[in-house]
């Protein structure tokens, strides 16, 4: 095969997305059990006022880094790392960061992911 085209939108459209388009994409990051998308402002931590949407994103991002580092130290495959992150995100779509310690939940997600993926 020949060279691959660059990932992402074509060069002519890069950086041209309006702020409203960007915010719509950011708001469609989570799914409810019925398959409908909902905005970050509907996440439990944001609804309660514990976090802003940006703080919620940063907390999730930092915890995913923790999950990745922990799984790598345990020499788990990439599939288990990704599965642990999915479990983590799904859990915190239903529970507030104020209710549960995110690191305890993250460790439980690693355990469940390792068992689910038969590592």
Residues in a beta bridge with 31 = 37
Task: State if pTM tops 0.75.
Answer: no
DSSP-derived secondary structure for 16-66: ---HHHHHHHHHTTEE-TTS-EE-GGGSHHHHTTSS-HHHHHHHHHHHHHH
Residues making up the chain, counted from first to last: 119
Helices 78-94 and 53-73 cross at an angle (nearest 10°) of 150
pLDDT digits (tens, 9 = 90+) for 14-58: 444 555 555 554 444 444 455 556 677 778 878 777 778 788 889
Quick one: pLDDT at residue 39? Answer: 76
Q: What is the pLDDT of residue 119?
A: 77
Q: What are the tens digits of pLDDT across the range 52-98?
A: 878 888 989 999 999 999 999 999 999 999 999 999 999 988 888 88
């Amino acid at each position: 095969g020949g060279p691959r085209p660059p990932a992402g939108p074509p060069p002519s459209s890069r950086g041209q997305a309006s702020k409203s388009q960007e915010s719509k994409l950011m708001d469609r990051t989570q799914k409810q059990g019925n398959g409908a998308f909902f905005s970050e402002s509907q996440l439990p931590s944001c609804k309660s006022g514990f976090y802003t949407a940006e703080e919620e994103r940063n907390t999730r991002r930092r915890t995913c880094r923790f999950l990745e580092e922990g799984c790598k130290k345990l020499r788990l495959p990439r599939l288990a790392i990704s599965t642990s992150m999915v479990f983590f995100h799904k859990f915190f779509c239903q529970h507030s960061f104020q209710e549960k310690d995110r690191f305890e939940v993250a460790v439980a997600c690693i355990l469940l992911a390792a068992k689910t993926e038969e590592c």
